[in-house]
Amino acid sequence: MSNDTGTRPSPAEKPAPVGLLEAFRWWLKLGFISFGGPAGQISIMHQELVERRRWISEHRFLHALNYTMVLPGPEAQQLATYIGWLMHGTLGGVIAGTLFVLPSLFILIGLTWIYLAFGDVPVIQAILYGIKPAVTAIVVHAAWRIGSRALKNGALWAMAAAAFVAIFALNIPFPYIVIGAGIIGWIGGRLSPHRFKLGGGHGSAGKAGYGPALIDDDTPVQPWMRFRWPRVILFAVIGLLLWVGVLGMLLALYGWDGTLTRMGVFFTQAALVTFGGAYAVLPYVYQGGVETYQWLTAHQMIDGLALGESTPGPLIMIVTFVGFVGGWTHAFLGTESLVMAGVLGAVVATFFTFLPSFLFILVGAPAVEATRHELHFTAPLTGITAAVVGVILNLAVFFAYHVLWPEGFEGDFEWFSALLGIAAFIALFRYKVGIIPLLITCATVGAGYQLLL
């Protein structure tokens, strides 16, 4: 990362205290540069906050990271919320977590409007033609990357295969697959613990010894870090009131069958089953958004993932795209207010997706700090992670089908898309090309091919 702001403290001295305004500016910057998915975003935070600025020690950083990895939801956003909370209490956590997603929210709203208003323009279609094979390759690579880490024995391979069959052939809803995998993992952890033992998260983020940190291993516990039951109950009640209040308002305005009301319920459920990251929840969002509620089409879902991959923020921000397209498509405010309907859909989808993530940190972080030991993954999470691999593979098959046979098997096979997708996968797998350069290259090549036809 660049050293454009702030001064690197001397290795021997403790950094100067960081004010809330300085922290605000950095979290805002992170919201605009957080490309690269969870691994890239966590790497940025480690390099800046642990190595360079030394706002937090290596041990405290990994301690927070291990907690966020066992939660449903976007781990990088939750980690930012956790660190912001460590530094400046509840307000610091809310600022950090909000700024992590706010730039992406506005960017995606703008891009989705352009997509819906001008998506039929040949140049836009040509660019998307090149991006779609790259997105398919990204999902295949994600399945391979997660599978290579998670599937350490035959039992876990079998669970991944079973999850693939369940969602691909039997069309079993994603939450049931998560629950079933968790139960199997719980039982397996007791009958055969060595098969369901999972190592620690991302592992060490790098060498220690960067010098004393502002929040160091021996930093005294601040008042807001102490676990107190009244505080836990207070935040749980506030979170519940926020959820009930907003959902109740939507219910009063639009009824149970209203588009925004259904989005509120659906995206709350999505937020609670996102074990394994955004790639794992995409099939669930597809099932609900495309098949159940028909907020968008299968091809629009692929286009939305392409936009999500090319913007900063967590990939789960694809819910913003789904919400905007759903509001626009259902035109619940009338045909003259499609943009406003889309914006409301995007905001509702984003709010209900991220509200649980804030509560997980603000309610649970004091208990985690009270333990101050390395957290271990549970056997149920091991089973869920194995099932996630099968679910992501199903997503890759779904994308590949719609990219290679856009008109169904009875239509023509897109041989150029196939070649571009294979080249994109090789670039990811063999040459470790970044997501953004890959998308730019594929968009350029695909657009050139389409426009020259």
Domain membership flag for residue 379: yes
Domain membership flag for residue 209: no
Domain membership flag for residue 214: no
Token pair recorded at residue 387: 């099932």
Structural domain of 412: 21-198+228-452
The number of residues in the chain equals 453
Number of compact structural domains in the chain:
1
pTM score of the predicted model: 0.75
Domain membership flag for residue 15: no
Token pair recorded at residue 287: 């099932």
Q: What letter would DSSP give residue 290?
A: I
Q: Mean pLDDT, 10 residues at a time, over the chain (453 residues)?
A: 49 83 94 71 83 87 76 86 95 96 94 87 80 83 75 89 90 80 86 68 46 84 87 94 97 95 95 70 84 91 81 87 96 94 97 95 85 54 79 81 81 90 91 82 90 80
Domain membership flag for residue 233: yes
d(CA 256, CA 248): 10
Domain membership flag for residue 258: yes
SS3 313: coil
pLDDT at 392: 77
Residue type, 161: A
Nearest to 180 by CA among 383, 378, 390, 377: 383
Domain membership flag for residue 14: no
pLDDT at 174: 72
d(CA 216, CA 248): 44
Domain membership flag for residue 213: no
